[in-house]
Amino acid sequence: MSALAKASGALKSVDYEVFGRVQGNGGYTEQEAKKLGVVGWVKNTSQGTVTGQVQGPEEKVNEMKSWLSKVGSPSSRIDKTNFSNEKEISKLDFSDFNTRY
């Protein structure tokens, strides 16, 4: 494990899907992710949900999970958030957080 990984704790990756009135708010998700210093992506789905992936130090990923579950953008209504494929990773797969179309 690198010194950086040791210093910041384990790196985590998690997939998410947010249900409710949540579409069109990717900009807020991107802004929050960049503020926390996590990487990954967010995308609207044709089912009216928002899906994506978050990677970074475990505590930052957990903060982002909390935001995705409870806060969201000012105009969103979050009914539920599903998290899947949560795992420890040895390196980040992304260099930034962005909105996919």
Task: Supply φ then ψ for residue 27, to 5 degrees.
Answer: -60, -40
Angle at 40 between CA 34 and CA 46, to 5 degrees: 115
Residue 26: per-residue pLDDT: 59
Residue 6 has pLDDT above 70, yes or no: no
Residue 25: per-residue pLDDT: 60
Which domains are delineated in the chain? 11-99 (3.30.70.100)
Section 5-17 average pLDDT: 79
Give strand pairing partners of 62: none
Residue 4 has pLDDT above 60, yes or no: no
Angle at 79 between CA 88 and CA 74, to 5 degrees: 90
Reported confidence tier of residue 22, pLDDT bands at 50, 70, 90: confident
